[in-house]
Structure 1
Amino acid sequence: MKKVVVGLSGGVDSSVTAYLLKEQGYEVIGLFMKNWHDDSVTISDECPWLDDSNDAMLVAEKLEIPFQTVDLSEQYKERIVDYMFNEYERGRTPNPDVLCNREIKFDVFMKIALSLGADYVATGHYCRKDEFEKDGKTIYKLLAGKDQNKDQSYFLCQLTQEQLAKTLFPIGELQKSEVRRIASEQGLITADKKDSQGLCFIGKVRLPDFLQQKLKPKEGVIVEVPANTEIFSEEKVDFDSKIEELRYLSKKYQYQSSLGKIVGKHQGAHYFTKGQRKGLAVGGTPEPLFVIDTDVEENVIYTGQGKNHPGIYRKALFINTEEIHWVRKDLSLKADQEMNVKARIRYRQPLQEATLYQTENGMYIVFQEPQASITEGQFVAWYLEDELIGSGVIS
């Protein structure tokens, strides 16, 4: 009997994960990760992790599996929270869920599980794993979940071959409705529990409230840039080289306040992210305003009217060499190589046709169609068919 440690989060997905593994004959241990109890950063009066850990314990009791809680709040603060504050301060928008998987669940947590003698770690992610032999070596594939609405492969885009080797995703073949049905049939307390909407494992927290704990409000102006501003005009350019063209396509627009008019005030550019519409509190425009860029140095938010504003769209992005990650190292590109893939720049975005261009100092991704709100600090993930083969941080 192989031993599996399941990250029981107190939600329905991980509950059914534990049930299925037990049915398959594994020796299953439930482990709840406690990732937050810093009262100096009060997030809300509710204490969701307590409810969640109680639910996880009740599920373990029902399934008759051993259960314990591990406190990872110190590592979580260091690796996720501090990193997030730092990124927001720089005017980038990190993805805490991708980081939480890379740094906590599949690193710190996995090491604890393996130290308990586990052969595998299992999570309630909607994704699948496959393997094949190549040159006498086992290679693992990270595949999209069967439920297209719930596919969570994007959140696991930073995993390595070593981590995949030790991981199981029992619900990857199922639809969410089937998972709920199984939980209900087995009388699990989490069967009808709503999916959590908070930061990974911190629970119910609104990001702006959270950021305000550490990043002090600072009043600045909101500038509206008209769609017919000259910087958006399509100029015909002749390029001397492919690199020159790639640089041009992935270049950000350079905004300054003189390009538009001041339409409002805000409490800190670092609370806003590209593509954001809510929270600007500026009325009276024929079409709603969207954030097209933020300048944390000057503390200015640049906006444009309507979701078709040219400032929202770009055709290409760049990833610095040290932030390129290949899940499938055997497929990685060398300088001057290219590859046609499908890519997404955010969770649940439909996959987009794109081409990777590897250069000496980083990788360009050029999309067939211009993409809305390409955001620095977020992850872009690329796929062949339904296999996620690599990812990187948009720079």
Structure 2
Amino acid sequence: MEARTYIPVDLPPPGSTVLVAMSGGVDSSLVAVLMAERGCRVIGATMKVYDASIEFPEGTGNGCYGPGEAEDEAACRRICASIGAEYHVVDLSAPYAREILGNFKSEYRSGRTPNPCLRCNPLMKFGLLPQALREKDVAFDYYATGHYVRQVVEAGDPEAGIWLAPAADPKKDQSYFLQRLGQAALRTARFPLGNLAKTEVRELARERNLETADKKDSQDFIAAEDYGPLFADEGVPEGDIVDEKGKTLGKHRGIIRYTIGQRRGVGLSLGAEPLYVVGLDAELNRVVVGREGSLFSPSLTAADAVWAPRFGTEPFRALVKIRLASKAAPASVIPLGGGRIRVDFDEGQRAVAPGQSAAFYVAARIEGDEAASVDGRSPRSAILAGGAVIEGAAR
């Protein structure tokens, strides 16, 4: 596909009303203040998702789901008061328990490795939260969040749609998390931090004496070191660890504690050669282990694809990320119809995990950026063409 030229989407103009999704962290706090300084009418909103039905050990971390919401809400309320903004807390704990926690637990019990943020963003943060405010007759023109991502439109045809592009700070880029947002959400969404580095955000917050300026970022979606607390009410049965031929080698502590590619916690080896998790057999409650070479896959299949404008019907070259922390890998993306796709990598990829999502980046000329080759290793000067949920991998 011929590289097109894209230009950045403008931030909300002075005088417009901006609903800001606030978490109590530095990013969304600064967004609220920057929008007020821009001359916008700001409305702050926080979604309450923790219902105290699951207990977490003290001091185990700072997550999106867990105790500590009251403290975060209080900080948001104070920041909104300082800029003269109204503030709302929306209780979404019931749909969150059903749609996010319920789905996450079901997927893990099935031996899959979901990323809950990819489901939460379109359904909750960009779905039910702004919808709830509209149903309360809270009117707004734009919906801003603290995500590190950019928006662009096609030069010469701005009505063709809105594309997401990686943030200026590659270490903080969150475009992967937003791969499932559709055009309806992107038309009103704005991301004021997309061109800033995290260090700049903290410095801007300090200059404005924001109480959240040095607050630590959330490390995971729950406030715990592992996902055990989510399954405490139903138990996590132990089972067999087997090799790729089915021979029993040991016992595992519960299938939900293992992911494809994991070595730590397996506790097995073949002589000096360590063994890795290469498969999860939920039906037989078995963890399958093998040598590291068994982890590499030349291709994958995925389903439930979400496409940006102009993508989804013809094969194309892309840089593909199979998880947030993975490097973008050159590949051919082949739509198969019905939301299913196949990805053929130029080089085998390690630990392709069913349930994770693949994001597809295509080289683009973005005004102000240096052009990047689609066969390069960084999707910096690129647009997000879409994403899909991984079904399986070829080995």
TM-score of the pair, normalised by structure 2: 0.83
Mapped contact 1:85–1:215 kept (Cα < 8 A): no
In the alignment, which of 129, 132, 153 is matched to residue 109 of structure 1?
129
RMSD: 2.0
In the alignment, which of 294, 304, 321 is matched to residue 290 of structure 2?
304
Mapped contact 2:148–2:173 kept (Cα < 8 A): yes
Residue 313 (1) aligns with residue 296 (2): yes
Counterpart for residue 43 of structure 1: 56
Inter-partner Cα distance in structure 2 for 1:22 and 1:38: 34
Inter-partner Cα distance in structure 2 for 1:112 and 1:133: 34
Residue 353 (1) aligns with residue 330 (2): yes
Label 1:113 to 1:172 Cα distance change in 2 as closer, same or farther (>3 A): farther
Inter-partner Cα distance in structure 1 for 2:322 and 2:90: 33
In the alignment, which of 5, 25, 41 is matched to residue 27 of structure 1?
41
Mapped contact 1:5–1:113 kept (Cα < 8 A): no
Per mean C-alpha deviation after superposition, the further-off stretch among 97-106 and 274-283 is: 274-283
Letter in 1 for 2:293: P
Letter in 1 for 2:300: L
Mapped contact 1:62–1:188 kept (Cα < 8 A): no
Mapped contact 1:313–1:373 kept (Cα < 8 A): yes
Mapped contact 2:18–2:140 kept (Cα < 8 A): yes
List aligned pairs for 1:43-62, cutoff 5 A: 43-45=56-58, 47-62=67-82
Label 1:289 to 1:6 Cα distance change in 2 as closer, same or farther (>3 A): same
Counterpart for residue 238 of structure 2: 219
Mapped contact 1:145–1:172 kept (Cα < 8 A): yes
Counterpart for residue 264 of structure 2: 278
Structure holding more helix per residue: 1
Letter in 1 for 2:333: L
Secondary structure in 2 matching 1:278: coil
**Percent of aligned positions with the same letter in both sequences?**
33
Aligned length: 349
**1:198-239 per-position Cα deviation (integer Å, ceiling 9, x unaligned):** 31xxx412343234325522121223x4xxxxxxxxxxxxxx
List aligned pairs for 1:1-395, cutoff 5 A: 1-39=15-53, 41-45=54-58, 47-115=67-135, 116-132=138-154, 137-199=159-221, 203-223=222-242, 225=243, 255-258=244-247, 262=249, 264-282=250-268, 286-305=272-291, 309-320=292-303, 323-328=304-309, 330-333=310-313, 337-360=314-337, 362-385=340-363, 386-395=382-391
Mapped contact 2:112–2:354 kept (Cα < 8 A): yes
Label 1:382 to 1:214 Cα distance change in 2 as closer, same or farther (>3 A): farther
Residue 37 of structure 1 deviates from its aligned partner by 1.1
Letter in 2 for 1:326: W
Secondary structure in 1 matching 2:161: strand
Per mean C-alpha deviation after superposition, the further-off stretch among 108-117 and 64-73 is: 108-117
Residue 188 of structure 1 deviates from its aligned partner by 0.4
**1:347-390 per-position Cα deviation (integer Å, ceiling 9, x unaligned):** 13221101011234631001111111111111100011221110
Mapped contact 2:279–2:288 kept (Cα < 8 A): yes
Inter-partner Cα distance in structure 1 for 2:76 and 2:294: 46
Mapped contact 2:105–2:231 kept (Cα < 8 A): no
**1:129-188 per-position Cα deviation (integer Å, ceiling 9, x unaligned):** 122477783411111110010000000000001100010100001000000000101000
Secondary structure in 2 matching 1:298: coil
**1:84-119 per-position Cα deviation (integer Å, ceiling 9, x unaligned):** 111112111111111111110011012134441011
Per mean C-alpha deviation after superposition, the further-off stretch among 204-213 and 118-127 is: 204-213
Mapped contact 2:298–2:348 kept (Cα < 8 A): yes
Label 1:287 to 1:62 Cα distance change in 2 as closer, same or farther (>3 A): farther
Inter-partner Cα distance in structure 2 for 1:370 and 1:284: 23
Secondary structure in 2 matching 1:257: coil
Unpaired runs of 5+ residues, structure 2, are: 1-14, 60-66, 364-381
Unpaired runs of 5+ residues, structure 1, are: 226-254
Residue 38 of structure 1 deviates from its aligned partner by 3.5
Residue 284 of structure 1 deviates from its aligned partner by 8.8
Secondary structure in 2 matching 1:331: coil
TM-score of the pair, normalised by structure 1: 0.83
Secondary structure in 1 matching 2:227: helix
Inter-partner Cα distance in structure 2 for 1:285 and 1:54: 55
Mapped contact 1:357–1:364 kept (Cα < 8 A): yes
Label 1:103 to 1:256 Cα distance change in 2 as closer, same or farther (>3 A): farther
Secondary structure in 2 matching 1:294: strand
Inter-partner Cα distance in structure 1 for 2:207 and 2:326: 33
